[in-house]
Chain A
Amino acid sequence: MKVAITSTGNSLDSTIDQRFGRCAYFVIYDTETGGVEILPNPNRDAQEGAGPASVQLVASRDVRKIISGEFGMKIKSLLDSLRIQMVVYKEPEKTVQSVIDMLKK
């Protein structure tokens, strides 16, 4: 299963981005192979519609779970219809690596 984690930088030592739609990078972690892919978010500076566009990006990678600090208004019904799970994790100091370690357990 693939999990997307929003990140502030393009390494695993970066912290979790507290926003979903306009986060800097998406870290896509595969729980079966342990592989990690880092995608820059093209919607980072979008005026509007960043959330739905990011959902599309993440869904195209076949992600089943998204971990972020916050999700916008338009996101929930979209993700519900795509059957993607949302995890709201409000720990701005935690690094992406620590989240991956939690998922491994």
Chain B
Amino acid sequence: MSPRPKRLRRVSNPPIISGFKPYGGEVRDRPKGSVFLHFEEYEVIRLCDFENLSHHDASKIMDVSRPTLTRIYAKARAKIAEAMVTGKQIIIEGGKIYFDSDWHICNGCGCYFNQPDKGNRVTECPLCGSGTIENCEAMNVDMAESHRQCADLCACPECGYERPHEPANPCKDQLCPVCGTHLMRKNNLLAKDI
């Protein structure tokens, strides 16, 4: 059996450097080879130890499960410890990752833009330079909410009572508050009449 494919980890902040080199000591005593720290391991150290987030919160940011995040974290610490104790250099590269950044909207010219460099805060529109910008994340939440509302109706086949259907709440498991009959989707009811 082949193993399950690894889920892509989301990295929102790529490192500003590509590795670390040891210094001091006798150069010829230094071991050959380097430790390869993956981007996701760098990100996990950043989130958990630099931003002081819990593993649970960090796992949501990286779009993996909490146990997976803890495994990546353990591996990252093991690699860093190896580099420090044996005096190897660290190279940050590789890993199953994708880079991500937030979208913003400008109210001045109506354009959308992203900010790949998270170090600088977005203060003005990159196109027209106006300061009236908004983060799209809040809007995405609203859109997800409105998505949950579906246009369908629950209807009673006996008395004609109707109400908006709630997703993940099957109508046939619910009773009509007027006459106590099992409800149905209105579309299905209409189809039945025909």
Contact = CB atoms under 8 A, between A and B. Distances in A.
Q: Do A and B bind each other?
A: yes
Interface of A: 65, 67, 76-77, 79-91, 99, 102-103, 105
Interface residues of B, number: 18
Contact of B111 (A76, A81, A82, A88): A88
A83 B63 CA distance: 21
Interface string B90-121: 00000000111100000001111111110000
A79 B101 CA distance: 10
Contact of A80 (B99, B110, B127, B128): B99
A102 B114 contact: no
A67 to B, nearest CB: 7
Contacts of B100: 76-77, 80
B114 A81 contact: no
Contacts, number: 55
B114 A85 contact: yes
B157 interface: no
B116 A83 contact: yes
Contacts of A81: 14, 99
Given A85-B114, A91-B110, 9 more contacts: A67-B127, A76-B101, A80-B14, A80-B114, A83-B116, A85-B113, A85-B126, A87-B127, A88-B112
B99 A102 contact: no
Given A83-B117, A103-B127, A89 B111 contact: yes
25 contacts: A67-B111, A76-B114, A77-B99, A80-B98, A83-B14, A84-B116, A85-B113, A85-B115, A85-B117, A85-B126, A86-B113, A86-B114, A87-B111, A87-B112, A87-B113, A87-B127, A88-B112, A88-B113, A89-B110, A90-B110, A91-B110, A102-B109, A102-B127, A102-B129, A105-B129
Interface of B: 14, 98-101, 109-117, 126-129
A82 B115 CA distance: 12
A89 to B, nearest CB: 4
Contacts of A91: 110
B77 to A, nearest CB: 25
User: 9 closest pairs, A vs B, by CB?
Assistant: A80-B99, A88-B112, A77-B98, A89-B111, A87-B113, A81-B99, A83-B116, A80-B116, A102-B128
A28 B116 CA distance: 20
Nearest to A77: B98
Contacts of A103: 127
Contact of B126 (A82, A83, A87, A90): A87
A7 to B, nearest CB: 15
Nearest to A86: B114
